């Protein structure tokens, strides 16, 4: 009798192994490989994005469909396409990740697109904002924004509010070029005039001479995009030191320049600056309150910014994919889930466009103001459900 039982259980074990073997062998973990800038000038990008992702996991637990979600963070060190490519390959080959996520900077996202295609890895852009990125691989979806998406409303708001002669200044790479072209097209179409334009290098920019040239041209307003963080601080310092505000040149920007992460460091000179963007810490909603509380549990000294929301929402998208696919990740099926996915983000309602895999969202017009002694971008007008123009 005992012998029969032993034989039966051995048989049962072999049947179980045959049925469940591959799933068990694949592991009970979903690996999310994150490529972000954790050191150098752009270190705040990786800090914000990874903290945002961890905030989502803190709030929602780290188990989905019976699988443990593991975040593996790698430092791209800055705008470094070759480093990003190598790290993406390592994440796929050595770590066997199920998703690739992150990307503060456009050049790093573009470098990884062919690898995502070849490996069929669902790749989620949590910040990089040049329009073209999502066209570079069918395995890329974006949960952040595009410069074109937030710039067109700025041009429309500027014209509607009486501005006619504007100078543009942008960082000299993908997102800056998109911002420049979009502002020019939208503003001149309405009847406005671009009285001068300048492109500022991404690496080691010297803002002083550029800003002086703009002051001498005496435009009515200056439209600016530079990447958030250190560069925004450098630009605002030159703007104030060279007295553009005092000379009556109105400053209008994308939200990157007055980013929540550094707005307090910009000081009172930033008060009154009008910007357009998809997220402000001051956004009044229960989803944002939950995000802020969760972020503060991980980092209580740093104010989150739009990149942190990108990290948070990127994880929300991944959790949904894992749930819908019941823990069995397949590149094509994952993209099918991502296309058309919609939910309420800390920034408001968002949708991944089923055709372009790019994000559709509200763009808010905000003014830098003091609230309770602290500086915030206070939203006062909404352009609802904006798509990336030209897609
Ligand atoms: C980008 O490189 O795409 C980028 C970086 C920082 C920003 C916006 C866009 O604030």
Question: Which ligand 1 atom sits nearest the alpha carbon of residue 133?
Answer: 3
* Minimal-distance CA residue to ligand 1 atom 6: 227
Number of domains comprising the chain: 2
> Using one digit for the tens of pLDDT, what is the confidence trace for 88-118?
999 999 999 999 999 999 999 999 999 999 9
Percent of the chain residues past pLDDT 70, beyond the cut? 93
pLDDT for 306 equals: 98
Record the tokens describing residue 117, joined without a space: 């295609």
Q: What is the mean pLDDT of the chain?
A: 93
Distance 107 CA to ligand 1 centre (A): 10
Ligand 1 close to Cβ of residue 228 (< 6 A): yes
105 lines ligand 1 (CB under 6 A): yes
131 part of a folded domain: yes
**In the predicted structure, residue 26 carries a pLDDT above the cut 90:** no
Establish if 315 belongs to a structural domain.
yes
Looking up residue 194, the CATH number of its domain turns out to be 3.40.50.2300
Rounded CA-CA distance 244/271 in Å is 14
Q: Could you give the CA distance from residue 246 to residue 106 in angstroms, rounded to a whole number?
A: 35
pLDDT > 90? residue 8: no
pLDDT tens sequence across 118-139: 999 999 999 999 999 999 999 9
Same domain? For 135 and 159 the reply is: no
- Regarding whether 342 and 257 lie in a shared domain, the answer is no
Q: Is 22 contained in some domain?
A: no
Residues 341-373 pLDDT 10s = 999 999 999 999 999 999 999 999 999 999 999
Local confidence band at 19 (pLDDT 50, 70, 90 cut-offs): very low
For residue 105, which atom of ligand 1 is closest to its CA? 2
The band of 205, judged by pLDDT with boundaries at 50, 70 and 90, is confident
Residue 390: pLDDT band (50, 70, 90) is: confident
Q: Is the CB of 130 under 6 A from ligand 1?
A: yes
Domain assignment present for residue 3? The answer is no
Does 54 map to a domain? Answer: yes
Q: Check if 64 has its Cβ closer than 6 Å to any atom of ligand 1.
A: no
- Residue 53 shares a structural domain with residue 160: no
| 106 Cβ below 6 A of ligand 1 | yes
The answer to whether the Cα torsion of 303, 307, 313, 318 is positive or negative is negative
Q: Both 85 and 205 in a single domain?
A: no
The per-residue pLDDT for range 58-69, each reduced to its tens digit, is: 999 999 999 999
Q: Which residue has the tokens 């895999």?
A: 357
Note whether 213 and 74 are same-domain residues: no
Domain match, 214 and 331 both: no
Residue 99 sits in the same domain as residue 60:
yes
* Residue 2 domain-assigned (yes or no): no
Q: Same domain for 249 and 345?
A: no
Dihedral of alpha carbons 34, 39, 41, 43, sign: positive
* Residue 15 confidence (pLDDT): 42
Residues 245 and 373 in one domain: yes
Task: Give residue 21 CA to ligand 1 midpoint distance, Å.
Answer: 44
Tens digit of pLDDT for each residue in 298-314? 999 999 999 999 999 99
Task: Please write the tens of the pLDDT for every residue from 233-265.
Answer: 999 999 999 999 999 999 999 999 999 999 999
Query: How remote is the CA of residue 7 from the centroid of ligand 1, in Å?
Result: 63
Task: Tell whether ligand 1 has an atom less than 6 A from the beta carbon of residue 128.
Answer: yes
Per-residue pLDDT at 391? 76
Q: Is 256 in the pocket of ligand 1 (CB under 6 A)?
A: yes
Same domain for 129 and 160, yes or no, is: no
Indicate the pTM of the whole model. 0.93
**pLDDT of 17 strictly over 70:** no
Each residue's pLDDT tens digit, 136-163: 999 999 999 999 999 999 999 999 999 9
Tell whether the model's pLDDT for residue 86 goes beyond 90: yes
Q: What is the pLDDT of residue 1?
A: 45
User: Do 273 and 210 reside in the same domain of the chain?
Assistant: yes
Domain that holds residue 344: 30-145+283-357
- Tell how far the Cα of 326 is from the centroid of ligand 1, in angstroms: 34
Q: Which of 113, 149, 228, 261 to mutate to test the pocket of ligand 1 (most atoms within 8 A of CB)?
A: 228
Ligand 1 binding pocket includes 175 (Cβ within 6 Å):
yes
Q: What is the largest CA-CA distance in the chain?
A: 99
Same domain for 163 and 273: yes
Answer whether residue 311 is part of any domain: yes
- Residue 8 located in a structural domain: no
């Amino acid at each position: 009798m005992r012998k029969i039982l032993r034989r039966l259980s051995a048989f049962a074990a072999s049947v179980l192994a045959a049925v469940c073997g591959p799933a068990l062998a694949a592991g009970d973990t979903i690996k999310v490989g994150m490529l972000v800038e954790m050191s150098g000038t752009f270190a705040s990008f990786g800090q914000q994005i990874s903290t945002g992702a961890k905030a989502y996991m803190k709030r929602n637990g780290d188990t989905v469909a019976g699988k443990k979600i593991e975040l593996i963070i790698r430092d791209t060190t800055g705008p470094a396409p070759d480093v990003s490519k190598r790290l993406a390959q390592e994440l796929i080959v050595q770590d066997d990740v199920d998703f690739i996520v992150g990307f503060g900077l456009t050049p790093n996202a573009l470098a990884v697109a062919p690898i995502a295609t070849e490996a069929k890895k669902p790749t989620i852009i949590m910040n990089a904002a040049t329009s073209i990125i999502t066209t570079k691989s069918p395995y890329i979806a974006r949960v952040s924004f595009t410069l074109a998406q937030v710039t067109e409303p700025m041009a429309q708001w500027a014209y509607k509010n009486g501005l006619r002669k504007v100078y543009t200044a942008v960082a000299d790479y993908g997102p800056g070029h998109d911002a420049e072209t979009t502002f020019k097209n939208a503003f001149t179409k309405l009847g406005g005039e671009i009285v001068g334009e300048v492109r500022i290098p991404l690496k080691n920019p010297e803002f002083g001479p550029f800003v002086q040239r703009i002051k001498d041209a005496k435009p009515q307003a200056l439209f600016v995009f530079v990447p958030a963080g250190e560069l925004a601080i450098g630009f605002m310092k030159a703007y104030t030191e060279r007295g553009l505000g005092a000379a009556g040149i109105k400053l209008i920007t994308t939200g990157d320049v007055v980013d929540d992460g550094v707005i307090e460091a910009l000081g009172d000179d930033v008060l009154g600056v009008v910007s357009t963007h998809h997220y402000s810490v001051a956004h009044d909603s229960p989803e944002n309150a939950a995000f802020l509380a969760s972020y503060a549990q991980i980092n209580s000294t740093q104010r989150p910014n739009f990149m942190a929301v990108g990290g948070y929402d990127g994880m929300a998208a991944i959790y949904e994919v894992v749930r819908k696919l019941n823990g069995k990740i397949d590149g094509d099926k994952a993209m099918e889930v991502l296309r058309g996915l919609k939910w309420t983000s800390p920034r408001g309602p968002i949708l991944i466009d089923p055709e372009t895999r790019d994000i559709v969202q509200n763009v808010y017009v905000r003014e830098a103001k003091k609230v309770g002694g602290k500086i915030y971008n206070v939203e006062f007008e909404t352009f609802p459900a904006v798509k990336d123009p030209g897609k």
